[in-house]
Chain A
Amino acid sequence: MIQTRNLTKRYGSFTAVDTVNLNIPAGEIYGFLGPNGAGKTSTIMMLLGIVKPTAGEIRLFDEPYSSKRLDLRRRIGMVPEKHPVGMWTWMTAGEYLQMFAELFSLEEANRRIDHLLERVGLAEVKNKKFSEFSRGMLQKLSFVRALLHDPDILFLDEPISGLDPFGVKQIRDLILEENREGRTIFISSHILSEMEKVCQRVAIIFGGKLMAEDQMKSLLTTLAKDREIHVDLEELPAELIAKVKKLKFVQDAIGAEKTLIVKVPKTGDYRKELSKYLIDQNLVPLSIQEKSLSLEEAFVTITKENINLFAGIGGEK
């Protein structure tokens, strides 16, 4: 669906995006992560055709893409981080959407608008000036605007930034729902816990370079140095930790209240052995869970240690 090849953007002597190669298949929820100034926005702007690349090429829907390709731009929807402050305050939600519907020359625009507003729960405020909308309502309205012309790809830039938990859930549900309908969704966000919940594939950009790109699970597995097994016990005897440490498959063990946390090598599943040992110690494991590396941890690992998975594992895609 979206491919870039050696995509580069320089601003004078500063390289914002350095030979980035992306390959986003259709129908995926693709997370694009990176710290501030990593080159995320520049990349997105190039993919949207708003900023011209210094070098490299972009292909959308298997066709070369530039800002002049209005036919391809019509198949993209974009939800920016923030609705432009103070703009179009005189318009109602309906008028605002009507303007974009007209820009895209949509047929039966009113019906489409009503349907989408209904979906996001904003039908009752169609004739309300959206200057009176809350942050969450504005974000949902932005979604509706982006979906008006039924795009194949949806770009979301920090879609849940500044939302309350209820708003976050609503947006998350929307994203998943749109993806179920076959839309490819490209998300750029700092809120990694949310990205972990929705993204199927992630890419991590740092210093303008693409450091990692893989399926979520594979990436976390690749980056994890070891595994952690969390065992909840009725009680945690003081001498238990020292004994567990002596087990040959245990790298380290710590206790946290009534939970025993054991680090084991990431190759191999040692839950059975550990469970057997604890039972032999007359202890009853209430639950045994394996805790994998979180996306946040993976992100920090990559960016802090400047790990480039393309240089190491996997190679260029």
Chain B
Amino acid sequence: MNQRAHATSVLAKRRILETLISPGYYVAQTIGLVLAYLLVAGFVRAVDSSGFNYTLNPAYELIGRSLVGAFGATFVEKLFSEGPFLFTLYIAFLPVLLYLAVSSVFRFGLEKKVGALELLTYGPADGTSYFLAALIKDILMTAIYLVVLLLFLFIAGLLNNLILGPSFYYSLVILFFLSIAIYAYGIFASSLTDNSASAIAVFLGLILFFIIIMMGSFTVVSGYVRNLASVLAWIIKWISPLFYWDLALRFVEMGNWGMYFIGVALLLLLSVVVLFISHLTIKTRGVRA
């Protein structure tokens, strides 16, 4: 086997084991599942004789009004047209996504600073095999959690006669690939910086920037904000994973499955490009802080 691939697999196994024996991953999962439970239970309480009415449940009223104010009534209508699960999917996924992404970025910076990364490279490993191992760990842990979440929501649906609609499934798939791109950006942020704090700041700054641009061009408030965000969005969109996520969802709404999968492929391609840039960066900057 190629030496880098071998080193990657050895390190990945250790990272996976480390994650599985650490409490953080389980706590993040629990937080996600509890949020999912609350959202499903709240939805059930907000259903009356004519259908879902978010004003019937305090939590949903807050959520509904906030979303309507920010993104319009059509957005909320579509979000809950198939039930609670689409919204629940995104909210319940966040804790685990944040945990895996931020902990990997933090870890990368810390290991670089204390010399652990350098220690690994005394042998056949290098910076690239190190971050690929972290990525493999994050992808696997994400996949495990999505399966757990899917099972949980399926059971919750069975108990309440709720159904997982088509939007849920194709959002689930695209979310998986979106998370890979986010992890890739975490690796990129880590390769640019020398310590955890800087890496986290760069990573969160990048992600927040993408979110703000995306939401800014999506919002119904203030034409000025939207116009400015739209101009920036046109420039930034090519490097923003949220752009490809949105693109894929739009196409699948149209029933255009071919373009949906192209959107997924583009998201994967973005991840590969970002990882390649990270590889070059770490090769140039080295593994020493």
- A51 lies within 8 A of B286 (CB): yes
Complex Cα spacing A105 to B5, Å:
12
- B288 lies within 8 A of A50 (CB): yes
- A103 lies within 8 A of B18 (CB): no
Q: Is B255 on the interface with A (CB-CB < 8 A)?
A: no
Q: Is A74 on the interface with B (CB-CB < 8 A)?
A: yes
Contacts of B22 in A (CB 8 A): 90
- A90 lies within 8 A of B123 (CB): no
* Chain B residues within CB distance 8 Å of chain A: 3, 6-7, 10-11, 14, 18, 21-22, 110-111, 114-116, 118-126, 286-288
- B21 lies within 8 A of A50 (CB): no
Complex Cα spacing A50 to B22, Å:
31
- B124 lies within 8 A of A84 (CB): no
Complex Cα spacing A91 to B14, Å:
9
Task: From the candidates B10, B11, B125, B288, name the one contacting A51 in the complex (CB within 8 A).
Answer: B288
Nearest chain B CB to A77 CB, angstrom units? 8
| CB interface residues, A 41-93, toward B, < 8 Å | 45, 48, 50-52, 67, 70, 73-74, 76-78, 80, 82-88, 90-91
The 7 A-B residue pairs with the shortest CB-CB distance, nearest first, are A84-B116, A87-B116, A78-B122, A84-B114, A102-B10, A84-B115, A103-B123
Q: Can you name 17 extra interface pairs (CB under 8 A) apart from A84-B116, A99-B10?
A: A48-B122, A50-B288, A51-B288, A52-B286, A67-B126, A70-B124, A80-B115, A80-B118, A82-B115, A86-B114, A87-B110, A90-B18, A90-B21, A90-B22, A103-B7, A103-B125, A104-B123
Contacts of B119 in A (CB 8 A): 78, 80, 83-84
Complex Cα spacing A87 to B114, Å:
8
- A86 lies within 8 A of B110 (CB): yes
Task: From the candidates B6, B111, B118, B124, name the one contacting A50 in the complex (CB within 8 A).
Answer: B118
- A50 lies within 8 A of B287 (CB): yes
Contacts of A249 in B (CB 8 A): none
- Number of chain A residues whose Cβ lies closer than 8 Å to a Cβ of chain B: 30
Contacts of B114 in A (CB 8 A): 84-87
Scoring A83, A84, A88 by chain B CB atoms within 10 A of each residue's CB, the highest score goes to A84
Complex Cα spacing A45 to B288, Å:
10
Contacts of A102 in B (CB 8 A): 10
Nearest chain B CB to A98 CB, angstrom units? 9
Complex Cα spacing A87 to B121, Å:
15
Complex Cα spacing A100 to B11, Å:
9
